[in-house]
Structure 1
């Protein structure tokens, strides 16, 4: 999930720097990038951080720019190891991996399908996220700063959309809420 946001940010940066439309481009993802998933239970909250060293170091994408400043994209799929998230403790890690069905589906896939520049330093991305074998399409806003190649955004997901059942603890007294937030803060090297 975190890499999904990274990919979106990378693509936005590449297109915002382009004076002449390109057909293909390479984008490097810095290990100082971060991707987190945050959720709540009925008594507390949790944050799971994706290991940035597990992000792909480079993406080679293909795109086409339309007349209305949209970019249609191919080869943007990020495949993330489900066990690349650290939630702060062994017990929470185990619950998180159980929630996303990591044994059956060891990867999470994020693919950016389309980007549209809205105004200076902002773009809308359409992406497809696959968790536990279920794919869903989402729109999200990305904010970018070209001077430091930083791309940020957030996306709220409902785990029920992916047919995930939140774990409960202590005989149902502690329950995970259905909405989770994916926050990304990416640093991209765009030639």
Structure 2
């Protein structure tokens, strides 16, 4: 009977251990926004990584850090790319720094800490939630231009305006 109990405990702890780790092989950051003529998406992705996330770990780990060259964001065409880079002041701030850390699982949901350094503005978001998907984990955050000390761009004498809200999505793929 004791042997059965011991085997059951080992199997149960091995199954729960698998849920506490995730190997990350892809990082993707997507910024989406809306204009008076439609939606735009600009993204940056990095594939071929191998890093392990541990949830509820007592060990000190720096988390995952992305140092993203703003010029490497792709928005679909060179006009949008140039507008996006100009808006984010790529000449003055050539890199966006994103750090995700302190992963913890509570009631089946995963929470994390996000640090964002963009256009010289450092922002901290200590308790964001990640969602599980077949592709890995994804988290969403809504930013606005005012929070980043930026003005929403407009073109053609104000005929095309960008709305104040930007959607930021982080994908940690496995």
TM-score scaled by length of structure 2: 0.74
Indicate how the Cα distance of structure 1 residues 185 and 75 shifts in structure 2: closer, same or farther if over 3 A, else same. closer
Give the Cα–Cα distance (whole angstroms) in 1 for the partners of residues 106 and 122 of structure 2: 26
Which residue does the alignment assign to 1:168? 154
Which residue does the alignment assign to 1:41? 35
- Which gives a bigger RCO, structure 1 or 2 (Cα 8 Å, sep 6+)? 1
Correspondent of 1:99 among 87, 104, 118:
87
Which residue does the alignment assign to 1:17? 20
Give the count of matched residue pairs: 157
Indicate how the Cα distance of structure 1 residues 177 and 15 shifts in structure 2: closer, same or farther if over 3 A, else same. farther
1:29 has 2:25 as partner:
yes
1:157 has 2:151 as partner:
no
1:87 has 2:79 as partner:
no
Root-mean-square deviation (CA, aligned residues, Å) is 3.0
Indicate how the Cα distance of structure 1 residues 75 and 185 shifts in structure 2: closer, same or farther if over 3 A, else same. closer
Q: Are 2:24 and 2:53, in contact at CA under 8 Å, matched by a contact in 1?
A: no
Which residue does the alignment assign to 2:120? 133
Which residue does the alignment assign to 1:8? none
TM-score scaled by length of structure 1: 0.68
1:57 has 2:49 as partner:
yes
Indicate how the Cα distance of structure 1 residues 16 and 149 shifts in structure 2: closer, same or farther if over 3 A, else same. farther
Indicate how the Cα distance of structure 1 residues 113 and 35 shifts in structure 2: closer, same or farther if over 3 A, else same. closer
C-alpha distance after superposition, 1:106-160 (max 9, x if no partner) = 111011242231222x211121101011100124210225xx6711221111122
SS in 1 for 2:64: coil
Which residue does the alignment assign to 1:23? none
Give the Cα–Cα distance (whole angstroms) in 1 for the partners of residues 96 and 73 of structure 2: 11
Q: Are 1:51 and 1:84, in contact at CA under 8 Å, matched by a contact in 2?
A: no
Give the Cα–Cα distance (whole angstroms) in 2 for the partners of residues 97 and 15 of structure 1: 41
Q: Are 1:109 and 1:129, in contact at CA under 8 Å, matched by a contact in 2?
A: yes
C-alpha distance after superposition, 1:167-186 (max 9, x if no partner) = 21011221111111122333
5+ residue gaps, structure 1, are: 1-13, 19-25
